Chain A
């Protein structure tokens, strides 16, 4: 039964192990060092990142992102090693994101990982991006057997672990939730610094009016592209005020970019909470773990928290952006 807790089948390491992790599957490049101690605990010694930020209204393209990673990879790795206070020779293995992700950036990072592995004669470990997200989240938060909501720029999935495998209960039928939010940020020309999703979140806090948008959960799955189209269409509505101000004292019936961000977030997150709740009921788990870039969104964490509380459960989320 998936709800039951099992003892960790892995035996504890005989000596502390150090691993270097390299990630560059999208516009964020990261290098981190993690230590697996003899008592079975793990600690993150360093976690250095550098993000490729595009001007407002533009997304990141594979070629340019790869270029950015090639430029920064060595500096980021050096920083990570220095911050952890170790030498490259102390490492026990080098891990890198194998996929899925954008081809060109992944390849750039893989090249560096392979070169380092051969230079220092260290074993190379390819990590699945999604499993990496989940395991990292489990490690940091201490969740044991959660229903995982994996929400990022490229993925939207509800996942649970059963019989040695992560199994997908539900997912998006078209675009990812992060993609949906980021693209809307582009439509209303929000900055991409530090991230479009964070700027949407800030903008949404100022929103006062909830506009009706399609609500498209389909069983365990959701669909987001239609919502994006509707919210984009609303920016062409004659009641839309791009500057956020009424046109005069008689101008009562209007809405602002902040209202649209608010409505978009509320609708999309409500859908995510719904499918997560259904998965929890299915497998009888009381824990929810939110991972991925959109998982940093405090409104999503808040809404999920309310749902979990009503089911006398608990939510785990990673806050570090």
Chain B
């Protein structure tokens, strides 16, 4: 491995997750971004919002890490999406004063 850019040989995955609207995508980004990746030396994560899409890009040292990190991320997205679908409507219905 060359010492100049060790990340050149890393594995990269990018996922685009559609949400109902840009606000929900932004919420998901804010919620998930708070928790750091457990292995910062071997995992780089970039979360961005493009319109109503949450775009996550992971670079990992090993393929195994890529699988684990993506799996954990999708589980978190699932929980956030379920929370939004459960309470999102109610949150919209009566806007707080």
Contacts and interface: CB of A to CB of B under 8 A. Distances in A.
Q: Main SS of the interface on chain B?
A: helix
- Which of B27, B75, B87 has most chain A Cβ within 10 Å? B87
A108 interface: yes
A115 B85 CA distance: 11
Contacts of B83: 73-74, 111-112, 115-116, 119
Interface in A92-120: 107-108, 110-112, 114-116, 118-120
A89 B96 CA distance: 7
Nearest to A107: B35
A118 B86 contact: no
A118 B31 CA distance: 8
Contacts, number: 56
Given A70-B75, A74-B83, A120-B96, A115 B27 contact: yes
Among A87, A111, A120, the one with the most B-chain Cβ atoms within 10 Å of its Cβ is A111
A251 B34 CA distance: 64
B84 A119 contact: yes
Determine chain A's interface SS by DSSP, over half rule. Answer: helix
B79 A108 contact: yes
Nearest to A117: B31
Contact of A111 (B76, B91, B96): B76
B80 interface: yes
Nearest to B76: A111
B32 interface: yes
Interface in B77-95: 78-80, 82-84, 86-88, 90-91, 94
6 contacts: A70-B79, A88-B87, A89-B90, A110-B35, A115-B87, A120-B96
Interface of B: 27-28, 30-32, 34-35, 75-76, 78-80, 82-84, 86-88, 90-91, 94, 96
